[in-house]
């Protein structure tokens, strides 16, 4: 992955330069017009968040049951990246809603559960930051709850009556809209993977510093 990081970074950068042109050429949606184009960044942001949550959840489970330090590094990286993309989704959504619905926010099931999901992973990071010794295990358990919540957030629009568009809008997209959306989603997923890789690298170096400190203290 270390060797692939540079070329992949270039590919993602190029994709993010190309994506706005594809989105600009995509047709306007019949009821929402121009503002619906936020969709091409808003939904991929959530996809990127779900990828990071999956990594965080899987790594947290491994860390909780096996205690592998590297799994903890992946879990931390996943939580941080999830919070970043969750924030993107939570900011772009109200910007879309202000024009499409006339309000910044609705306390409907999708918006509320999405906010709660973001707060669970913010809680994860706060537990790690301020939890003291043993906080890693507590944070890992929090991450499992967050990961279990994510599928409910995604399906909430289909289960409950809400003003938010349903998940069926994605499989029913016309090719002229589906193409730019798939391209944008791929760019966000690759970006999420890149950020995860960079953050895991940082965590590994931090672990190395801790080991060196311990060795230095043993010596002196």
Partner 1 sequence: MMRIPLLLAALVLQPPPGQSEFVPVNELPAADKLPAAPFLIAAYAFVWIAVMFYLWTIWRRLNKVEADIDALARKTPHR
213 binds partner 1 (CB under 8 A): yes
Q: Please, are residues 199 and 80 in contact by the beta-carbon 8 Å criterion?
A: yes
The whole-angstrom separation of Cα 89 and Cα 97 is: 12
Residue located via tokens 């860390």: 63
Please, what is the angle between helix 69-100 and helix 39-66, to 10°? 160
Binding segment (CB under 8 A) for partner 1, from list 52-60, 126-134, 145-153, 212-220 = 212-220
Binding segment (CB under 8 A) for partner 1, from list 19-27, 50-58, 119-127, 136-144 = 19-27
The whole-angstrom separation of Cα 210 and Cα 202 is: 13
Kindly tell me the burial class for residue 89, based on how many C-beta atoms sit within 10 Å of its own C-beta (0-12, 13-18, 19 or more).
buried
Q: How many degrees, rounded to 5, is the angle at CA 20 between CA 16 and CA 24?
A: 165
CB of 208 to partner 1, least distance (A): 6
Site size with partner 1, rule: CB under 8 A: 58
Rg (C-alpha) for the chain, rounded Å, is 20
Binding residues for partner 1 restricted to 130-159, rule: CB under 8 A:
157
Which residue, 11, 38, 17, is CA-closest to 26?
38
10 binds partner 1 (CB under 8 A): no
25 binds partner 1 (CB under 8 A): no
169 binds partner 1 (CB under 8 A): yes
CB of 66 to partner 1, least distance (A): 25
Question: Which of 134/219 has CB closer to partner 1?
Answer: 219
Q: What are the residues binding partner 1 (CB under 8 A)?
A: 20, 26-31, 33-39, 41-42, 45, 80-81, 84, 87-88, 91-92, 95-96, 98-99, 108, 157, 161-166, 168-169, 172-174, 176-177, 191, 195, 198-199, 201-202, 205-206, 208-209, 212-213, 215-216, 219
């Amino acid at each position: 992955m270390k060797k692939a990081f540079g070329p992949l970074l270039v590919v993602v950068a190029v994709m993010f330069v190309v994506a706005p042109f594809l989105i600009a050429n995509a047709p306007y949606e019949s009821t929402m017009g121009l503002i619906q184009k936020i969709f091409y960044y808003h939904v991929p942001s959530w996809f990127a968040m779900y990828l990071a949550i999956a990594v965080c959840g899987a790594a947290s489970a491994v860390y909780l049951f096996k205690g592998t330090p590297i799994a903890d590094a992946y879990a931390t990286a996943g939580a941080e990246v999830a919070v970043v993309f969750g924030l993107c989704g939570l900011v772009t959504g109200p910007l879309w809603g202000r024009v499409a619905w006339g309000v910044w926010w609705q306390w409907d099931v999708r918006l509320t559960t999405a906010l709660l999901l973001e707060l669970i992973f913010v809680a994860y990071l706060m537990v790690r930051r301020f939890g003291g010794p043993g906080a890693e295990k507590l944070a890992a358990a929090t991450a499992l709850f967050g990961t279990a919540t994510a599928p409910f957030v995604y399906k909430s629009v289909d289960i409950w009556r809400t003003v938010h568009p349903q998940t069926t809008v994605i499989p029913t997209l016309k090719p002229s809209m589906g193409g730019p959306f798939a391209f944008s989603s791929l760019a966000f997923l690759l970006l999420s993977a890149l950020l995860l890789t960079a953050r895991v690298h940082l965590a590994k170096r931090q672990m190395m510093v801790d080991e060196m400190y311990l060795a230095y203290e043993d010596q002196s």
